[in-house]
Chain A
Amino acid sequence: MKLLKLVPDNTNIRFLRWRVPFYVISLVLMAASLTLVLTRGLNLGVDFVGGQMIRVTFQNSASAPVGELRGTVGKLGYGDPIIQQFGKPNEISIRMKLPEGSDADAGLAAQMATKITAAIKQDHPDARIDGVDSVSGKVSGELFRTGMQALIAAMIAISIYIWVRFEWQFGVGALFSLLHDVTLTLGLFAATQMEFDLNIVAALLTLIGYSLNDTIVVYDRIRENLKKFRRMPLPELLDLSVNETLSRTIVTSLSMLITLFALLVLGPGVIFGFTAAITLGIFVGTYSSIYMAAPILIWLKVNSQSFVPTETTMDRQEKLARERG
């Protein structure tokens, strides 16, 4: 039986030869992402800015009367709604942010949802309300704050863990590659103006975890090789480590992508943005664990003295084997 081998044995791709150009490209992309987020801004969902979103299915018609709805809802005096199709043409979401300067009235978001629902039901008896989300200004502020706190706390906690388990250089490398992943994902959300809501924060937290999984596998091998080959120049050693783990990196990323694509294409439309963010994160995370997390160790001057050499039976066998061979 011949098994599938995506990556041939003993590859020797000199990944780190291009570390400077790739770093420049990544830094430029990060800067561009930040600029986009700051200038164009994220399309924040009602979770984070307050307002309401309802999902309606028009059961007796093939497609939703979007134009007419825009008028009906617009007449209620809260401003213009954002109407989007999700799923079939007769399934739409009507999103409306809180009007400016309405912070005083805590119940306004709920009122908006109630009135819009009533207005639609009056005109269209076949309208089925599939979902109502309403969030007041105060609550949305809290949700945004806790979401950001969770994100930052996760990045710092994970980096500290890496620092404790490895060395400080690895902790810095992990933190930097996480910043890279999160910034690029945010940049994509700013560029496409996909809706950024609570689910996306959860997606970011997830991709932080998984992106770091990749980084750890590479780091773990680097640590092992640092102990094994004390004399090898660092760039060469990093290349060796990346090459040795390359097959695993490809197979695992592909495994994740297989399941994620199934979810993206066949899964519920409600969590499309969530799945899309994680899928993108897998690509970015795999790239960053090779090109962001590893080269930084060269610049931070990691060497074999970073790890107190502990000679195990394995090492001794290894050494004997080398001496003999």
Chain B
Amino acid sequence: MLDFPRWKQIWLWLLTLTICAAALPSLSAVSGLAWSSVLPAPKINLGLDLAGGSHILLEADPAQVSRQRLESMEESVRGQLSKAEPKIRIGDISTKDGSLNFMVEDPAQLDAVRDQVLPLTTGAGLTGQRDWDIKMVDGSRIVMTPTPEGIALAVTQAMDTATEVVRKRIDALGTREPTIIRQGADRIVVQVPGLKDPAALKSLLGQTAKLEFKLVDGTASPTDIAQGIAPPGSEIVPFAAQQPGQAVSSIAVRRLGGIKGDALTNAQQSYEQQTNQPVVSITFDQQGGAKFAKLTTENVGKPFAIILDGKVLSAPNINEPIMGGSAQISGSFTVASANQLAIALRSGALPVDLKVVEERTVGPDLGADSIRKGMIAMLIGTTALMAFMLVTYGRFGVYTCSALILNTLMILGVMAVANTTLTLPGIAGFVLTIGAAVDANVLINERIREERARGRRVVQAVEVGYREARSAIFDGNITNIIAALLMFMFGSGPIKGFAVVLIIGIATSVFTAVTLTRMWVAGWLRRARPSELVL
């Protein structure tokens, strides 16, 4: 038990010092010494609650994806059937209850219609299901319902695109080292360290930037619009509020036949020449430009609405055909909001609305304050604890304190090598681990005291002390590990950081408090051969 051959001692010291050395870069970085940059990485990452930064959880509404799929399927079906030979006439089309439901006027054509719309669906999932289920009902109607696999696939695709768009937008803000991760089926986690203005980031991420150009339906009467009744084939869209809380009027626009803003190659903030108002200049791609030219040529003199995320920005008259493929969007912007819209349009529209469902932002000053106070508490707490150990256990207290210091360094070292993150609760974890780490030594020292009191000789008392304390130390640490593991599994970012420190601390403290002190005590017993213990 107390036998430590030379090779074992060398090996234990090498292991201890190597791990402690790994802590040096982090230590010097925290203490802010000038030469810290000389030391090589790895360093411990500081969590957002210490370094300052924003953690934002975005959530999409899967129902919205389904709704959009229904709408685009309606358009595809209409387009497909209008090209068919011989002519197929359909009517009474509806998208209620999550299915696309329409009547084929000539029942004899029902099978032909089915063959026409079948290519519009694709396979989904691994077991050969299709993304839409096509049924013929009552001998004259066709009902198309998205399958669960189809919806799941669509949501996955939408979230993949959304993640890309979010990444582009954050990159456009020029922040350093953002983390963007998909979470679950419908969430995205965004973590941005050291952000000056999280509000700007939030509003940028919250903007879907779905831009549409639709013709205004002039046939709708103002009273119908006020009551929300749209003429067939049209829909009511409200104007964007100039100020929050302001009452807004609405306008009726044609549902189909408009142009979508995803056909853009560029968007830039600029100024309207006459009024010097901030506007957003957009450039269509070739296809979009051609469509836009056709639309404006066919509808000269009529108003069309520029709709952003379901709100009308403006509804100017088409004075002349716009052939060049570029246009300006006006609508009471500030320079900042025009700039934001330009970024959002450049990075593409989000395929689905994202909402901020959780935000954790810590300002850099509060973070720095937390580190300072945490470090002070740790230093003073540790010093007081070491003094207590020294007056209680004398020589054995010196071993305990040495183990404590090495333990602290080793935790830092393991954290640096394992590339873990130190959070504010993690600092508390440090302080706690230090308090708990001495428990192993207390158990051993008390047991040695006891064995001496029972009349055992010094060497035997030490040996029995270390052996008999072992099972309690082991069981106690296992239960702590169980609690810490559950914290790690269930906890969020900062709590995970706390659990990490606890788990690493438990492992290193058993090593320093049991193995290392035993080596030191054994060495002393061999050298000094004491016949009496002051304990």
Q: Which residues of A contact B (CB under 8 A)?
A: 1, 3-6, 9-10, 55, 57, 106-107, 109-110, 113-115, 117-118, 128-136, 138-139, 143, 146-147, 149-150, 153-154, 157-158, 161-162, 165, 198-199, 201-202, 205-206, 208-210, 212-213, 216-217, 220-221, 224, 244-245, 247-248, 251-252, 254-263, 265-271, 274-275, 278, 314
Contacts and interface: CB of A to CB of B under 8 A. Distances in A.
Contact of A268 (B369, B468, B482): B369
Contacts of A198: 491-492, 495
Contacts of A135: 357-359
B263 interface: no
A81 to B, nearest CB: 17
Given A1-B394, A4-B392, A199-B495, A263 B425 contact: no
The A interface, classified by DSSP as helix, strand, loop or mixed, is helix
Contact of B199 (A118, A202, A247): A118
A153 B376 CA distance: 35
24 contacts: A9-B449, A110-B356, A128-B365, A131-B362, A131-B363, A133-B360, A136-B356, A150-B486, A161-B475, A165-B475, A198-B491, A199-B495, A202-B491, A205-B487, A206-B498, A206-B502, A208-B483, A212-B480, A213-B436, A247-B446, A258-B385, A265-B377, A270-B370, A274-B428
Contact of A154 (B382, B428, B486, B494): B486
Contacts of A165: 475
A150 B491 contact: yes
Interface string B442-457: 1100100110010000
B450 A244 contact: yes
Given A255-B435, A262-B384, A266-B373, A110 B202 contact: yes
Nearest to A224: B468
A154 B479 CA distance: 9
The B interface, classified by DSSP as helix, strand, loop or mixed, is helix
B446 A248 contact: yes
A248 B443 contact: yes
Nearest to B475: A216
Contacts of A251: 392, 442, 446
A183 to B, nearest CB: 17
Interface residues of B, number: 82
A3 B358 contact: no
A107 B57 CA distance: 11
Contacts of B438: 252, 255
A273 to B, nearest CB: 11
Contacts of A278: 432
B442 A259 contact: no
B10 interface: no
Contact of A161 (B54, B57, B378, B479): B479
A3 B392 contact: yes
B498 A4 contact: no
Chain A to chain B: the 4 pairs with minimum beta-carbon distance, closest first:
A262-B381, A107-B355, A110-B356, A150-B490
Contacts of A143: 492
Given A202-B487, A255-B389, A267-B373, 9 more contacts: A1-B394, A128-B365, A136-B357, A220-B475, A255-B438, A256-B435, A263-B431, A266-B373, A267-B428
Contact of B498 (A9, A202, A267): A202
A286 B372 CA distance: 31
A205 B49 CA distance: 21
A18 B287 CA distance: 89
Contacts of A205: 483-484, 486-487
A213 B391 contact: no
A181 B292 CA distance: 71
Interface string B477-507: 0111011101101111011001100100000
B183 to A, nearest CB: 11
A39 to B, nearest CB: 28
B535 interface: yes
Contacts of B199: 114, 117-118
Given A106-B61, A131-B366, A266-B377, A213 B480 contact: yes
A144 to B, nearest CB: 11
